[in-house]
Amino acid sequence: MIIVESKQHKQIAIKIAQIKETDYTSDKGVDVRTKTQAIEVEVDPNAFGHAKQQLAASTKTPYIAVPNKLVKQAVDATEGTRFGVMNENAKIVKRGRGR
Asked whether the predicted pLDDT for residue 45 surpasses 50, the reply is yes
pTM of the model: 0.92
Q: What is the pLDDT of residues 2-24, one digit of tens each?
A: 455 689 999 999 999 999 999 99
pLDDT tier for residue 1 given thresholds of 50, 70 and 90? very low
58's CB contacts (< 8 A; 6+ apart) are 30, 38
Q: What is the pLDDT of residues 85-95, one digit of tens each?
A: 999 999 999 99
Domain extent listing, the chain = 7-94
